[in-house]
Structure 1
Amino acid sequence: MLEHYNVTCQHRHIRSHSHDTIDQLNAEWQEISQAFDPKAKEQRNFRQLLDNLKSLRKAWKRPQQVSRIMTSMLATYELKAGAYVVSVDRYNHSQLGLKTKAAGSRQIVFECNRLTREEQMEVVAGICNRFASIFAQNAQYNLAQIDNQIRKGQMTVLARKLRLLQEQVYLDVEGASGMSSNQDPGVVYQGHRFSTAVTSSLWCPDDAMGVQTMPLPSFVPSPWEWPDLLKSRRPFHPMFFGLVARKRKSRSSFASRFKGWFSTDSPQPSSIDYVAILFALAANFMKM
């Protein structure tokens, strides 16, 4: 009986112990099993945190969600004189030079006679930087939680106790995967899987993420994107239910119009506004 026990232990790479030692190891295993409950809870919290981050990432990818964040941000953002946040409806869309489908949206409107092109770009860049700070604060908060969970998952007293117990039970923990030709691969693999997979969840990378030193993201449009964001619009009179746009008649006097016919200067109508479409900015943010 004892010889059969020793052969079985050697076959499975298990050390042979006395009854007293086996009882002691069994007590240690029970203690470790009870300590696994808090560690398992940490693992569940970590998985829940990752699931929440996936949901948050999907939420940031939704145009409606990003537009809602921008609308809330612009409610407290101080714009320069000559820049406005306008709610477009079916009554004022023609005054802004926009089509009927723009009704229901919010637009950032600039007056050309009060703000130059560079000043308009500066306003949009300021809005992008403000959005970047909100995005970074949100990311830093979530990454700090991940960093905290990773620190909890590093080598702990529980992992050291489990490692010591494995060394007492198995002949060679590191080389348990090595098998000879006359060994049963199924049994050895099961033993090796127990000796490695249990501690794998208790080990995490040693390098900590630089959460506090994370650079601020940039959402400022690239030079080739500005023409699509800042577009010249002319107010018009909608005709035939908005299907035809008729230019507005100038209210200037005949003398000024007569002078303009012979003037070599390019006309600068005061009714032309540059409009930065809010949803275009939102789309630019989601590409990052």
Structure 2
Amino acid sequence: MSEVSLSDGITEKGTAPIVSVNMPVYNCAAYLTEAIESILNQTFQDFELIICNDGSTDHSLKIVQSYAAKDSRITVITRENLGIVATRNEMLAHSRGKFIAVLDCDDVALPHRFALQVKYLEEHPDVVCVGGDTRLIDGKGRYLTTLLHIRGNEAINESALAGNGAITHSCAMMRSDIMRSVGGYDPDLNLVEDLDMWLRLGELGKLENIAEPIVNYRLHAKSASELNGLEQRQAAKRACEAASKRRGIACQYNSGELWRPASDADSKHKFMLQYGWWAWINKEYKTAAIYGLKAIKIKVLNKEGWRLLVCALFKRK
């Protein structure tokens, strides 16, 4: 599927680390420092960090190069823009580790993430990919809520076959040999290359989520999921249909709902309320008030935004 050879990790640096961290970068200067620091500050330190700058036009490359100059574990690939799937496959081809950990450049790994995941994979040789729970933050780093992901191989496969992510990509740690055996990421399934990967890995081994938050996942208006929500759902259906055909079962796809705001006012209003109520439930009252105001700005006459704002200011748990 990829133009990059996926047969072996490149070994020119000598002893291979346990974990190869793959971080794709495209115009992510606002969040990049925090993402890189979260990797360098892991309690588990036997890793390499491979960063591919996919033709950024901001100062992302300068940030990456400044870290690489100080830490020999960082490998920088930089070139013209080829897109996210080509970028992920190129990093996979350069990875020398037993395990591949993904962290997108706008997310933040919690300090214990690698320690938990390496231990789990070492103790469960039949598991080919492990994720974990996800703390959702917004573009300003404000905490919204924690998503408790599905547990158990059967349930995760069932969810993936229905078109749901099941495992957050930035939480994933996978066995590199199994990733290579399935040919890496499929360039024909851009926007859902992660879902397709879980479906194909799930045909060779077990999938699991650790029952603990391991990543701060950032929700912001410039993310691919938010910019291309409808196209992402269409691609997810194709991935599920292909997986169902490989497995010899009827397609179970039923995930037509967008999980991020679309461009229309109704969708944006709905999600501002969602984020605000998440924050209110978690006693993040200032954040809840901010999202109440955002909802009011979109639909000033709709009472729901005003209700959220009043609860955030006066009705606290």
* TM-score tier after normalising by the smaller chain length: under 0.3
Q: Please identify which structure carries the higher strand content.
A: 2
- Rg (Cα) greater in structure: 1
In the superposition, the TM-score normalised over structure 2's length comes to: 0.21
In the superposition, the TM-score normalised over structure 1's length comes to: 0.22
Q: Please identify which structure carries the higher helix content.
A: 1
